[in-house]
Amino acid sequence: MPDMTPDVPSALSPLVRRVVADNPSHMTGPGTNTYLVGIDEVAIIDPGPDDKKHTDAIVGGAMKERIRWIVLTHTHPDHAPGATRLAKATGAEILAFSKREKSVKVDRAIGEGDTIDGTEFRLEVLATPGHAPNHLCFHLEEERMLFTGDTILGGMYSVVSPSTGGDMAHYMATLERLGKMRLRSIAPGHGELIDEPRARIDEYLRHRRDRERQVLALVRKGPTTVKAIVGTLYVDTPALLQPVAAKQIYSHLKKLRAEGKVTGRDQRSTWRTAGS
List the CATH number of the domain containing 123.
3.60.15.10
CA-CA distance, 247 to 270, in Å (whole number)?
15
Pairing verdict, β 145-149 and 185-188: parallel
Whether residue 250 is found in the same domain as residue 130? no
Same domain for 20 and 141: yes
CB distance 15 to 121 below 8 Å: yes
pTM equals 0.96
Q: Is residue 115 part of a domain?
A: yes
Q: Is residue 181 a contact partner of residue 146, using CB atoms and an 8 Å limit?
A: yes
| Claim to verify: residue 141 and residue 239 sit in the same structural domain | no
Same domain, 258 and 161: no
Whether residue 125 is found in the same domain as residue 253: no
* Pair 179, 119 in one domain: yes
Question: Is 206 within the bounds of a domain?
Answer: no
**Domain-embedded: residue 207:** no
Residues forming a β-bridge with 149: 188
Extended beta strands in 33-184, E state: 33-37, 42-45, 67-71, 93-96, 108-109, 115-117, 122-127, 136-140, 145-149
Q: How far apart (Å, rounded) are the C-alpha atoms in residues 6 and 101?
A: 27
Yes or no: say if 55 and 25 are a contact pair by the CB < 8 Å rule. Answer: no
**Could you tell me whether strands 224-225 and 262-263 are parallel, antiparallel, or unpaired per DSSP bridges?**
unpaired
* Same domain membership, residue 227 and residue 179: no
Q: Is residue 204 part of a domain?
A: no
Per-residue pLDDT of the chain (276 residues), as tens digits, is 567 999 999 999 999 999 999 999 999 999 999 999 999 999 999 999 999 999 999 999 998 999 999 999 999 999 999 999 999 999 999 999 999 988 899 999 999 999 999 999 999 999 999 999 999 999 999 999 999 999 999 999 999 999 999 999 999 999 999 999 999 999 999 999 999 999 999 999 999 999 999 999 999 999 999 999 999 999 998 989 999 999 999 999 999 999 999 999 999 999 999 987
Residue ranges making up the domain that contains 230:
220-273
Indicate whether 188 and 59 sit together in one domain: yes
My answer on whether 225 and 265 are in the same domain is yes
127 domain-assigned: yes
H-helix or E-strand containing 246? Answer: helix 242-258
Tell me, yes or no, whether 47 and 135 share the same domain. Answer: yes
Question: Do 61 and 106 reside in the same domain of the chain?
Answer: yes
Dihedral angle sign, alpha carbons of residues 9, 82, 73, 27:
positive
One domain for residues 160 and 225: no
